A and B are shown apart, each in its own frame.
Chain A
Amino acid sequence: MAMSVIRKFSLLRIGLRSEFLHLRCASGLPDVLTRSYSKYPPSYVEPLYTQKSQEEAVEVGALEELKFKPVKAAYVFQNNSVFHDPLVVKFSQHIMKAGQRSLARELMVQTFEQIKRIQIKKKIEAESPEEGEMIEANPLKIFNQAVENCRPVLHLVPVKRGGITYKVPVPLTEKRSYFVAIRWLKEAGREKFRTVHFPEKMAKELIDAANNEGRVVKKKQDLHRQCEANRAYAHYRWS
């Protein structure tokens, strides 16, 4: 009985305190007191999980500063393997459905295998050995080139002016352009006939994109075309 009373009281106190915090923040005072929604407090720093980034930190002299700071735990997908590629990890995370990470990774591996098979076949079937030499067979390189080729520079943002909504061309940030490219590639890979497997389709799309052709590159060009058509409204940015 006594315990429950104490618990109720403490709950009430917490409730009151949060109310108080809320009021303090609403009144325009500096929001030092707002509760953070992050798992880690802001004093924690991001981990330098690759050897390269650690060496860079040593060179710049940033490591001295980080020495006595608490570090966040690295994610599962962050590791120091020689096969680690942040873009590949990003892509497999986009592919992932319902948190099935191992399945997404497997699909990624199968996609790379398909790319390799297709390119090796092309190499063998090439008319001359010089031509065969020219064909890139490294799936990782093809993948990176494909994503790079699909990145848009501009996009269209609706801006309302005088009752009319204009489509205004606006530059994309680097991060956003990677996101858009990955999303387009993923959508192209998923748009397939029922009997075709995802890695098969994805491999074809990636090879096409790496050669600057295919539907994803066309999609990007179409977006740029639309931006070009709406260039007159470019000065409407940030209504």
Chain B
Amino acid sequence: MRLSPLLLTTQYYINNVRPKNGRRPSRHPFPYNNILPMALRDQVSGKSNKQQATACLQEMTLMLACFKNADFDQSLCAKEIELFKKCNEEYMASKRLKKEQDRGTELIPNAKKLSFKHINVLLKKYPQPK
């Protein structure tokens, strides 16, 4: 069996208290060696920095429903198509803007949601107390 700190704790300690029977412990407690420093880093990774994947789903559903009703004649669904295209364009524009903002490290005043780069800038400016 692999001796993990938890396992050794249960063997050596009883109810989180060291037994006071004066005996030598059969196994020495697991030494805790902190490989990594016990503090948060001054940076975050941007791995989970993805946008909402399913944009314009409502509009797409409406448009496809209209297509089905009109036997796929697009001229009868001009309004739905227009709405869908507009939604998609707005989404693409916001995506582009976000990408541009992510690229630059210049902070945006009063931004409610910070990108990982902005967080990194702020963390560098105000690092974790050591």
Find out whether the CB atom of B84 lies under 8 angstroms from the CB atom of A153: yes
Give the residue name and chain of the B residue nearest to A152 (CB). Answer: B74
Find out whether the CB atom of A235 lies under 8 angstroms from the CB atom of B57: yes
Contacts of B84 in A (CB 8 A): 153, 171
Asked if B64 is an interface residue, CB under 8 A from chain A, the answer is yes
Segment at the interface with B among A38-46, A128-136, A221-229: A221-229
* CA of A173 to CA of B91, assembled, Å: 12
Asked if A237 is an interface residue, CB under 8 A from chain B, the answer is yes
Contacts of A149 in B (CB 8 A): 74
Given A224-B67, A225-B72: A153 and B85 within 8 A (CB)? yes
Give the residue name and chain of the B residue nearest to A212 (CB). Answer: B75
Asked if A189 is an interface residue, CB under 8 A from chain B, the answer is no
Find out whether the CB atom of A237 lies under 8 angstroms from the CB atom of B53: yes
Asked if A238 is an interface residue, CB under 8 A from chain B, the answer is yes
Interface string of B43-80 (1 = CB under 8 A from A): 00000001001101100110110011000111100000
* CA of A175 to CA of B63, assembled, Å: 21
Find out whether the CB atom of A171 lies under 8 angstroms from the CB atom of B88: yes
Find out whether the CB atom of A153 lies under 8 angstroms from the CB atom of B81: yes
* CA of A147 to CA of B103, assembled, Å: 37
Q: State which of A173, A212, A225, A235 has its C-beta within 8 Å of the C-beta of B53.
A: A235
Find out whether the CB atom of B64 lies under 8 angstroms from the CB atom of A228: yes
Find out whether the CB atom of A231 lies under 8 angstroms from the CB atom of B54: no
Find out whether the CB atom of B75 lies under 8 angstroms from the CB atom of A237: no
Interface residues of B in 75-117 (CB under 8 A from A): 75, 81, 84-85, 88, 92
Find out whether the CB atom of A221 lies under 8 angstroms from the CB atom of B75: no
Find out whether the CB atom of B63 lies under 8 angstroms from the CB atom of A153: yes
Contacts of B53 in A (CB 8 A): 235, 237-238
User: Shortest CB–CB separation between residue B81 and chain A, in angstroms?
Assistant: 6
Contacts of A169 in B (CB 8 A): 60, 64
Find out whether the CB atom of A234 lies under 8 angstroms from the CB atom of B57: yes
Most buried by A among B50, B57, B88: B88
Question: A interface, how many residues as a size bin?
Answer: 10 to 19
Q: State which of A173, A221, A225, A234 has its C-beta within 8 Å of the C-beta of B60.
A: A234
* CA of A171 to CA of B64, assembled, Å: 12
User: Shortest CB–CB separation between residue B61 and chain A, in angstroms?
Assistant: 6
* CA of A228 to CA of B84, assembled, Å: 15
Contacts of B64 in A (CB 8 A): 154, 169, 224, 227-228, 231
Interface string of A122-165 (1 = CB under 8 A from B): 00000000000000000000000000010001100000000000
Given A227-B64, A228-B64, A234-B60: A221 and B54 within 8 A (CB)? no
Contacts of B67 in A (CB 8 A): 224, 228
* CA of A190 to CA of B56, assembled, Å: 37
Contacts of B74 in A (CB 8 A): 149, 153, 224
Binding site for B on A (CB under 8 A): 149, 153-154, 169, 171, 173, 212, 221, 224-225, 227-228, 231, 234-235, 237-238
Given contacts A153-B84, A154-B60, A228-B68, 14 further A-B contacts (CB under 8 A): A171-B84, A171-B85, A224-B64, A224-B67, A227-B64, A228-B64, A231-B60, A231-B61, A231-B64, A234-B54, A235-B54, A235-B57, A237-B54, A238-B50
Q: List 8 A-B contacts (CB under 8 A).
A: A153-B63, A153-B85, A224-B72, A225-B72, A231-B61, A235-B53, A237-B53, A238-B53
